Amino acid sequence: MRAYGRRHRRWNRRNPQPLLFVPDEPLTLAALAAVGRALFRYRSELAPVTAGMILAVGGLVLHRTHPEAWPAVLTVTIVAVLAAALRGLPWGLTRTAERAYAATTTAVAGSWLAAATALGPGRSPLLTVLVVAVIALGIPWWGHRRRRARVRVDRVINAWPNLAEVIGLTGSRIMSAVVDTWGWRARLKLRPGQSVADVIARVPAIESALGTRPGAVRVEQDPAHAGRCTMRVLAADPHAGAIPWPGPTSRSLADPIELGVFEDATPVRVPLLRRHALIGGTTDSGKSGVLNVVLGNLAACTDVVLWGIDLKGGMELRPWAPCLARLATTPDEAAELLADAVAVLDARADAAGRDNTRVWKPTPTAPALVIVIDEYAELADTAPDAVGHAESIARRGRALAVDLLAATQRPTQKAMGGGALRSQMSVRVCLRVRERRDVDLILDKGMLSAGWHAHTLDAPGKFYVLADGHNQPRRARAYLVTDDLVRQTAARYADQRPDLDPLSRAAIDHQPKPIEPPRLSADDPEQTLLMALDQAPTDGLTVPELINLTGMRRTWVYDRLQAHAVAGRARQVTRGRWRA
């Protein structure tokens, strides 16, 4: 190209020449350049054809110059086939299918070259065989998912400088990129002055520029360098389906609890010993689901006594009753339970002071006490006295192994009884929230702008976790503990539950009320439900009453009621009240 306007030399700085360019090379050269660029761009797709052409030319040259060299060609082929099949060499292939493909292709290509060296590539049917082989071996190549992904990534890397300019990240560079099971990830080096917050703020623009689905891009800070980050592009959502709970992995409170899995399939392990935990999220975001995973693990720990507070009439925690030493379902019971926990705390603090020990080390004979509270806001509203006790436990409980685990929809100042409690909770699990600002309420100030975008979580059980060892906004999904698994797990570990140590027991100056068993008792909850519906009063029973009677979870009761309604075995008398 050259600048237009040799005839307009009079143009100078004051009267600038319009910036017009015309090609000064012939059209054929421009066309050749375009074809060359296209061949280079599609070099991966064209690789089988290119290989076929190289073989044809190679065969011709060898036949003309060294026709007697075909045994040497065959020997090299055998060595190359063995290297590809056994070691994946020279491409470093690890998968069996890829090694088999490489070995087959090498064997076919080498045999053809040996034949062409001896006989000449023009000898019938060698050319036909070559064309058929290129097509037959090309099909798996063209269809190979990882190869196509790699090509796409290469193109993005090449186009990144332009894309970055459009997105508003001018000067950033992709340093390396790797294709993985779920998509690909790249290490980004930012221009001096740019920060990861700038990249996070531009995630929707990046998704648009890369042409991905919305919500496909994740950005993680490089812990070692403020000007670097990892950008993950997920071709498909690894958390699209529910992940079944594999069963308890902890045997002691000292073991971290496995809540679910991150998007790269690594498990989410959260330490709970000497930590209070807050689980927040809007309604139906999966708070009880996370509580179930935690309870399922704690039920298997022989050094923890579990107490529960569930002011929804025991709807969520009653199924765990066999493993709970106490369950409060009314505000008065909750206040009493927390007061007793403070008494335990005081006794332990006294003992620790006398013995000059700083921390209470949980053992099966001197277990920790974990108090699980479902819907903390309800407690703050209906039992304000209890809030003072909860705050006292939050402030002093960690060293003495009395921990709180609270779930709530919105941990506002009011709901958290002033916020003193929240500030003591060092494990935060944030499920889907309705309003963006709730992210900062549940996690901490500034977390929303730091990339903890819980308002974009799109399925129950998806969460972000902030805890020791988890300070990056990585999405995870909690395991799903089905109602049947809750029942089985609670029944399995019921006999192994430890009692409080004598010191703590003595601190509680009254005999706690035993957990009320369900009024009807058939072994099969399905039978219990049908009996309850049969014997229900004329205005029917509410769902919480049915949960109480069957000992099953809300979702189970709803599902069974729908099924019985369809089969004509149950009907809704008025809204929310059921009978046979």
Ligand X SMILES: Nc1ncnc2c1ncn2[C@@H]1O[C@H](COP(=O)(O)OP(=O)(O)OP(=O)(O)O)[C@@H](O)[C@H]1O
For residue 169, state whether it binds ligand X (rule: CB under 6 A). no
Query: 287, 398, 422, 453: which one contacts ligand X (CB under 6 A)?
Result: 287
Query: Of all residues in this chain, which one has the CB nearest to ligand X in the complex?
Result: 461
Q: What is the DSSP letter of 254?
A: T
Q: Which span sits near ligand X by CB under 6 A: 36-44, 114-122, 151-159, 475-483?
A: 475-483
Kind of pairing, strands 368-374 and 304-310? parallel
The pair of three-digit structure tokens given for residue 565, joined into one six-digit string: 């309604």
22 Cβ partners below 8 Å, 6+ apart? 1, 2, 4
Query: 11, 42, 226, 284: which one contacts ligand X (CB under 6 A)?
Result: 284
What is the x/- site pattern for ligand X, positions 198-237, by CB under 6 A? ----------------------------------------
Shortest Cβ 462–ligand X spacing (Å): 8
Q: Compute the distance between CA of residue 486 and CA of residue 480 in angstroms, rounded to an integer.
A: 10
Shortest Cβ 58–ligand X spacing (Å): 57
Please choose, from the candidates 360, 145, 304, 314, the residue with its C-alpha nearest in 3D space to the C-alpha of residue 235.
Answer: 145
Using CB under 6 A as the binding criterion, the count of chain residues that bind ligand X stands at: 16
Shortest Cβ 244–ligand X spacing (Å): 9
**Which residue, 177 or 427, has its beta carbon nearer to ligand X?**
427
Q: Compute the distance between CA of residue 422 and CA of residue 307 in angstroms, rounded to an integer.
A: 20
Query: 117, 250, 285, 392: which one contacts ligand X (CB under 6 A)?
Result: 285
**Which residue, 389 or 410, has its beta carbon nearer to ligand X?**
410
Q: What is the DSSP letter of 16?
A: P
Q: Compute the Cα dihedral for 370, 372, 377, 378 and give only its sign.
A: negative
> Within 377-416, which residues bind ligand X (CB under 6 A)?
409
Shortest Cβ 49–ligand X spacing (Å): 48
What residue numbers does the annotated binding site for ATP cover?
281-288
For residue 555, state whether it binds ligand X (rule: CB under 6 A). yes
**Which residue, 377 or 425, has its beta carbon nearer to ligand X?**
377
Q: Compute the Cα dihedral for 448, 452, 458, 464 and give only its sign.
A: negative
Shortest Cβ 183–ligand X spacing (Å): 22
**Which residue, 284 or 350, has its beta carbon nearer to ligand X?**
284
Give yes or no for a contact between 377 and 344, defined as CB atoms under 8 angstroms apart.
Answer: no
Query: 248, 286, 473, 551: which one contacts ligand X (CB under 6 A)?
Result: 286
The pair of three-digit structure tokens given for residue 33, joined into one six-digit string: 């350049």
The pair of three-digit structure tokens given for residue 255, joined into one six-digit string: 């073991």
Please choose, from the candidates 407, 553, 374, 404, the residue with its C-alpha nearest in 3D space to the C-alpha of residue 481.
Answer: 553
DSSP string, 156-188: HHHHHHHHHHHHT-TT-EEEEEEEETTEEEEEE
For residue 548, state whether it binds ligand X (rule: CB under 6 A). no
> Within 87-106, which residues bind ligand X (CB under 6 A)?
none
For residue 296, state whether it binds ligand X (rule: CB under 6 A). no
Which residue(s) pair with 191 in the sheet? none
What is the x/- site pattern for ligand X, positions 434-473, by CB under 6 A? --------------------------xx------------
Query: 111, 288, 297, 548: which one contacts ligand X (CB under 6 A)?
Result: 288
The pair of three-digit structure tokens given for residue 491, joined into one six-digit string: 């029944």
For residue 289, state whether it binds ligand X (rule: CB under 6 A). yes
Can you give 350-417 as a three-state secondary structure string?
HHHHHHCCCCCCCCCCCCEEEEEEECHHHHHHHCHHHHHHHHHHHHHCCCCCEEEEEEECCCCCCCCC
For residue 125, is the peptide bond before it cis, meaning its omega torsion is within 30 degrees of 0? yes
**Which residue, 196 or 377, has its beta carbon nearer to ligand X?**
377
How many CB atoms lie under 10 A from the CB of residue 138? 18
Radius of gyration in angstroms for the set of CA atoms belonging to the chain, rounded to a whole number: 34
Shortest Cβ 248–ligand X spacing (Å): 16
For residue 318, state whether it binds ligand X (rule: CB under 6 A). no
Q: Compute the distance between CA of residue 331 and CA of residue 157 in angstroms, rounded to an integer.
A: 60
> Within 409-438, which residues bind ligand X (CB under 6 A)?
409
First to last CA, the chain: 87
What residue numbers does the annotated binding site cover?
281-288
For residue 283, state whether it binds ligand X (rule: CB under 6 A). yes
Q: Which span sits near ligand X by CB under 6 A: 214-222, 286-294, 343-351, 539-547?
A: 286-294
Q: Which residues bind ligand X (CB under 6 A)?
A: 242, 281, 283-289, 409, 460-461, 477-478, 480, 555
